[in-house]
Amino acid sequence: MLEDYQVIVLVVVCSIISGLFALYNAWAVGSIVLDDSYENAAANQKGQESPQPKEEGGLPHVHFKIPEITKMISDGAKSFLAAEYRILLAFIGLFAIVILVLVGAGKTGNYIFGAFSAIAFIIGALTSIACGYIGMRIATIANGRCAVKAIDGIGPAFVVAYKAGCVMGFALVGLGLIILFITIMIFRTYFQDNAVDLYEAIAGYGLGGSSVALFGRVGGGIYTKAADVGSDLVGKVEKGIPEDDPRNAAVIADNVGDNVGDIAGMGADLFGSFAEASCAALVIASTTTDASGNPSYLTNNLSYMLYPLTLMSVGILVCLVTTFFATHIFIVKNAKRVEDTLKGQLAISTILATPCIFIITYYSFPMGNFQIALTTTTSVKVFGCAIAGLWTGLLIGFVTDYFTSNAHKPVKDVAQSCETGAATNIIYGLALGYKSDVIPIMALAFTICLSSNLAGPYGIAVAALGILSTMCIGLTIDAYGPISDNAGGIAEMAELGPDVRKLTDALDAAGNTTAAIGKGFAIASAALVSLALFSAFTTRVNIDCAVLNIPAPINILEPFTFAGLLYGAMLPYWFSAMTMKSVGKAALAMVEEVREQFRNNPGIMDGTSRPDYKRCVAISTTASLKEMILPGLLVFANPIIIGFVFGKNALSGLLAGNLVSGVQMAISSSNTGGAWDNAKKYIEEGHHGGKRSDPHKAAVIGDTVGDPLKDTSGPSLNILIKLTAILSLILSPFIKSYGGKYFDINYIC
């Protein structure tokens, strides 16, 4: 086994390497100068003079310079995140007190333990905020530079978007890893040999990460989809103007939304998955005992306990090597190569990670048989769990690609259905989403069964970590999508010409697919993370119940458990309804604003007057911050209320039902929306009589319906299932002590 100092060196060095690589890529992107030379280059490409402001009717012709556009987008994103983070900081402070009180009370008045849980929660939340902000900043720096480089060709533009994605991926993983490691080492000085309490307190780190992710995904998702839906319905459907046309008042808000929802929210989401999977594995491993029932010597061995961190450390090195295949080996030279290069990153990282994971697993555990929790296993079996998760993630990624890329038959069928109207488009899209559930769910079921047989509940947590081991690459290609999407919008507004816009559209189309693949990874990892957290919760409750001499097994036929199962299966529908209605309400306000500006300012359509973009940004900001509160309360209130009033059995049923229902809804929603989006782009490329200058209304309506599914409801559901599970684990002492004691069903009846 590795020595403690070797584990420390590995984690610290890999975290530093990850951070330095992110800084290098940030410097490479930021060093691209945005001056007036790009206008001359674009004009030469079009065979025209450099565009200059014209006077017509006493009003300046609408013409934007790229620095001006990027500043508006950046200012809008920073303004929204500042307002959102102010709300989140208040929430973090208040909920930390709730954790301190409830956990401390559950530990029979041990409020010091509650304080450690609350501190871990605060650290995780602040780390998640930092990760989201870093992603937003690099995206707003890179989008204009990606548009400028598109003048030189698709290869240079691809490299800018990809390197910016690397900043997001490597900064987030490196930062999350080192902060979790430091937190564990500091807490270890207090808890010393009490591994169970140490890692149960550390679980607050995962709760903090997912708490911020929930509001980031919901708030950011409402923001971006309110702007997107409002922009499409008025601009493309009613006015017949192209996407990102500067005459559309909501166009800046739409581009801002890509950064706060698809970048900041997505970064916080996957950070939460990493933190929660690690915490689940740590909690389960900490319960290992020897033959006498005393804590095993392994629980104080860093090589054994910190395997989740060493696994992610090796993943950083693998992903760093993988990036050079995209930037130096398989160089993008035409539009067809973009999607293949991005998907190739997933395959290459998976192949390279397989032997590396074997090596680190072999040296992290004892030789021969050993015990984790109540399961006897070996290092080879643990490796099998990690590889099962790793390759399941790749399979789900390629299945997602098949159902959402316009290079394959399902999306082409959806596009063809638009010829007969929006109704058939919606029918085909919904059917595609439902069908796309089949293979991922079967793959997850197989991975769960295999991992559980190999290493019990710990094996399921390791399988989740296997999916996340290549998270640097997953985040890179996911962040690439919104950056290239913004670049297309900037190219349109800055009048860089149809050739440049065609290249950015090609980058964006591939980005839509990789974003869908990223969502598939996030949902798959969320399913395994949630099940691992569920296992950790039942492990903690069962141990506590054994101390109290209360029967531990959870029986699905027990009335409270089955009732909780039904209720939990309903939660994703309730949550989705709230988020989608919130998007609808915000979009309604946006539609009215854009219509009013067109109506009251005829110069907008003539191109002689600028719309008031700031009013649309303000509408999205206000609506999203207001509408994210109730879905958040729904998620946090349910585990606390159900656990306290009805007890551990009902809460266990809720977690199971929520997991089964939520995963399938999340996959279906994300893939349906992704398919509609790419079907629209496929038509606008010239298929089925479509063109960009004359948006196809049936395709636009399908895309508009899919927007809240793929970017608000779908991605938020995976946080719902993780957050309810991690919150239940954190509150397990409270549920054990007080759950169900004050509710007597016999008395009520």
Summarised one tens digit per residue, pLDDT across range 325-364 is 988 888 888 877 888 888 889 899 999 999 999 999 999 9
Examine residue 39 and state whether it is found in any structural domain, yes or no.
no
Q: Is residue 707 over pLDDT 60?
A: yes
Examine residue 545 and state whether it is found in any structural domain, yes or no.
yes
Question: What are the phi and psi torsion angles at 60 (to 5°)?
Answer: -70, 140
Alpha carbons 277 and 616: distance in angstroms, whole number: 39
Examine residue 326 and state whether it is found in any structural domain, yes or no.
yes
Domain count, the chain: 1
Examine residue 700 and state whether it is found in any structural domain, yes or no.
yes
DSSP 50: P
Q: Which amino acid is at 710?
A: K
Alpha carbons 143 and 303: distance in angstroms, whole number: 42
Question: What are the phi and psi torsion angles at 656 (to 5°)?
Answer: -65, -50
Query: Could you give the 3-state DSSP secondary structure of residue 610?
Result: coil
Q: Would you place residue 694 in the very low, low, confident or very high pLDDT band (cuts 50, 70, 90)?
A: low
Question: What are the phi and psi torsion angles at 352 (to 5°)?
Answer: -70, -35
Cβ(187)–Cβ(279) under 8 Å?
no
Q: Is residue 710 over pLDDT 60?
A: yes
User: Which residues constitute the domain of residue 125?
Assistant: 4-33+65-748
Question: What are the phi and psi torsion angles at 242 (to 5°)?
Answer: -65, 165
* Residues 340, 345, 348, 353, Cα dihedral to 10°: -160
Examine residue 40 and state whether it is found in any structural domain, yes or no.
no
Alpha carbons 327 and 664: distance in angstroms, whole number: 35
Q: How do residues 394-444 score in pLDDT, each as one tens digit?
A: 899 889 888 988 888 999 999 889 888 888 989 999 999 999 999 999 999
Examine residue 45 and state whether it is found in any structural domain, yes or no.
no
Q: What is the pLDDT of residue 743?
A: 66
Q: How do residues 78-91 score in pLDDT, each as one tens digit?
A: 888 888 889 999 99
- Ranked by mean pLDDT, the top range of 238-252, 296-310, 376-390, 711-725 is 376-390
Cβ atoms < 10 Å from Cβ of 655: 28
Q: Which residue has the higher pLDDT, 748 or 700?
A: 700
Q: Would you place residue 695 in the very low, low, confident or very high pLDDT band (cuts 50, 70, 90)?
A: low
Query: Could you give the 3-state DSSP secondary structure of residue 105?
Result: helix
Q: What is the pLDDT of residue 127?
A: 93
Contacts of 250 (CB under 8 A, 6+ apart): 227, 230, 231, 234, 235, 590, 593, 594, 616
Examine residue 56 and state whether it is found in any structural domain, yes or no.
no
Alpha carbons 537 and 203: distance in angstroms, whole number: 11
Q: Is residue 74 over pLDDT 70?
A: yes
Question: What are the phi and psi torsion angles at 51 (to 5°)?
Answer: -65, 135
- Which of 262, 243, 75 is closest to 165 using CA atoms? 262
- Which of 136, 140, 98 is closest to 216 using CA atoms? 136
Query: Could you give the 3-state DSSP secondary structure of residue 55?
Result: strand
Q: Which residue has the higher pLDDT, 738 or 49?
A: 738
Q: How do residues 425-436 score in pLDDT, each as one tens digit?
A: 899 999 999 999
Cβ(288)–Cβ(299) under 8 Å?
yes
Place of tokens 């995976």: 718
What are 372's strand-pairing partners? 375
Question: What are the phi and psi torsion angles at 295 (to 5°)?
Answer: -55, 135
Examine residue 52 and state whether it is found in any structural domain, yes or no.
no
Q: What is the pLDDT of residue 548?
A: 41
Q: How do residues 583-631 score in pLDDT, each as one tens digit?
A: 888 888 888 888 888 888 888 787 778 888 888 888 888 888 888 888 8
Average pLDDT, the chain: 85
Q: How do residues 497-543 score in pLDDT, each as one tens digit?
A: 888 888 888 888 777 777 777 777 778 888 888 888 887 787 677 65
